[in-house]
Chain A
Amino acid sequence: MTGFTKGSLVRVKSHFPPSPPAHCRTPFYIRGCVGKIERICGAFENPEELAFGRLGGDKKVLYRVRFSQSDIWPDYEGAKNDQIDIELYEFWLETLEEERK
């Protein structure tokens, strides 16, 4: 997978990690939602491995992705420009182009 740049449109994968046991840092509410890359945070060890004490694996790129509240919650009652920024690992994101194929 290629890296994303600031402003790229991405969709959060809606799969579930294999279970049990599993650990991930992608909350359920954001899966399947479309947002825009806000910034690249750097590369960190994969929390899905670290949770089981498996240290020293490849580092994974972490992004902050910005979503419109009204895209996450169709019945959102706040102002229409309200947003959520959330940290997501690259392997949880897909480009919208890839999805169209």
Chain B
Amino acid sequence: MTTEPHDHEPMHEYDPHHHHPHRDDQDDTMTYYRIMESAVRELLIEKRLINADQIRDQIEKMDARIPANGAKIVARAWSDMDFKNRLINDPKSAVAELGHDIGPLNLIVLENTDSVHNVVVCTLCSCYPRWILGLPPDWYKSREYRSRVVREPRKVLEEFGTLIDDQREVRVHDSTADMRYLVLPKRPEGTDELSEEDLVSLIGRDALIGVVEVKAP
């Protein structure tokens, strides 16, 4: 097979190196569920049960929920023993002290200790403490994570770079029904001098799910 000689390359005329991957637009196919969502939304608005601004407002609120909320809760618990006790015994009112109204959410706080490491999964779907942390990461919803972390949790943790000593129990929490879970990670050694604000910056989302531990800076 011969190739025709080109007198020019079909490149981007203003930036020939502009080829970072774009995510495909996902609005090109009206799937069954998209049609259903539009139909239900339009009906609810038409029947004046809710209005478009309320839907927008809820999406805005959802997007404002981010893992940093959880990091602030943990840093406070590390810095204030009384708050930590309240957080474990009555999570809903403890997080309300930090301004998080978690609505109907039933929250359980799981404290990592020298003898137990906790990790959270929802094997059936993607239950997650969205009222505090926002949307779950894609891997949390993947079939692989959901099926393997209950079967071989230590191997899965190892793939996240987390090695838990055999003397420490690995306790998997399957979020199958009405409870939602927040892991309270262990405060790393050598951070006694750090302020609450500095501690916040150490705590990432994955530590709040329990697939990693928090590391000292």
Interface residues of A (CB under 8 A from B): 25-27, 29-30, 41-42, 44, 47, 62, 64, 69, 72-73, 77-79, 81-89
Given that A42-B106, A78-B153, A84-B150 are contacting pairs, would A47 and B173 also be in contact in the complex, using a CB cutoff of 8 Å?
no
- Inter-chain CA distance A79–B171, complex, in Å, is 11
Question: What separation, in Å, do the CA atoms of A79 and B178 have in the docked complex?
Answer: 29
The 9 residue pairs across chains A and B that have the minimum distance between CB atoms: A87-B177, A86-B174, A79-B166, A78-B154, A82-B170, A84-B172, A81-B169, A87-B176, A44-B178
Q: Say yes or no: A87 contacts B179, CB within 8 Å.
A: yes
Give CA–CA (A74, B176) in the complex, Å. Answer: 23
* Contact partners of A81 in chain B: CB under 8 A: 169
Size bin of chain B's contact surface: 20 to 34
Q: Which residues of B contact A (CB under 8 A)?
A: 106, 108, 123-124, 150-155, 166-179
Whether the Cβ atoms of A44 and B177 lie closer than 8 Å is yes
Out of B152, B155, B178, name the residue touching A41 (CB < 8 Å). B178
State whether B154 touches A79 (Cβ < 8 A): yes
Known: A87-B176, A89-B177. A27 touches B124 (CB 8 A): yes
Contact, CB under 8 Å: A82 / B171: yes
Distance of A42 Cα from B108 Cα, bound (Å): 13
Query: A47, A82, A85, A89: which contacts B174 (Cβ < 8 A)?
Result: A85
Given the complex, which residues of A lie within 8 Å of B150, measured CB to CB?
29, 72, 84
7 extra interchain contacts, Cβ-Cβ under 8 A, other than A42-B106, A73-B151? A25-B177, A27-B176, A29-B123, A62-B179, A77-B152, A84-B174, A86-B174
Shortest B178–chain A CB gap in Å is: 5
Interface centre among B150, B166, B177, B179 (most CB of A within 10 A): B177
Once the chains bind, are B151 and A62 in contact (CB under 8 Å)?
Answer: no
Contact of A83 among B172, B176, B179 (CB under 8 A): B172
A25 touches B124 (CB 8 A): yes
Could you tell me the distance between the alpha carbons of A82 and B168 in the complex, rounded to whole angstroms?
Answer: 8
In whole angstroms, what is the CA distance A25 to B177 when docked? 6
CB distance from B100 to the nearest CB of A (A): 20
Q: Bound state CA distance, A41 and B150, in angstroms?
A: 21
List of A residues within 8 angstroms of B175 by Cβ: 87
